[in-house]
Amino acid sequence: MTRPIRRTPQSARTAAAFVRPYLVTRGRTRHRHLLSPETALEAGDGRAGPGLSEGEYRQITTLCRQRRRSVAELAGTIGLPLTATRVLISDLIDARVLVLSLTTPYTPSDSPAGDRPNRQLLEALRAGLALKWPDAVNKAS
């Protein structure tokens, strides 16, 4: 005879914490933009649509309107895993509610990288090109 499994409050919270990011991102696990944890974001001139104006989307937008924030800082502040936060940020970038911020201008230096632009500049360029030509094929992914 088997007994029914009783869930303790702790295991119920753990299960809810595991399922919640899946629900917030509507089951999506891949982000469309190259977003490293240190990528800086700021508020753009776009407007949030019906699905982008509630919950975590609103929190992210409000935080970025206050000041420039990194992806890792946003993930920690709203309490979601980095992967789920990147999916939400990608939605906001597509709607132009958020834009990638350049914290350091591109200038040649004597560093080992030589005259190459930094990663953040390339991420901003990629995001801008993706907005201009959304039908372009992304062969890097």
Amino acid 15: pLDDT: 46
Mean pLDDT by 10 residues, the chain (141 residues): 58 52 69 85 84 80 92 90 88 89 59 65 79 68 49
Between the CA of residue 22 and those of 28, 48, 81, what are the distances in Å? 7, 21, 10
Indicate yes or no: pTM above 0.85: no
Q: Which domains does the chain have, with CATH numbers?
A: 29-132 (1.10.10)
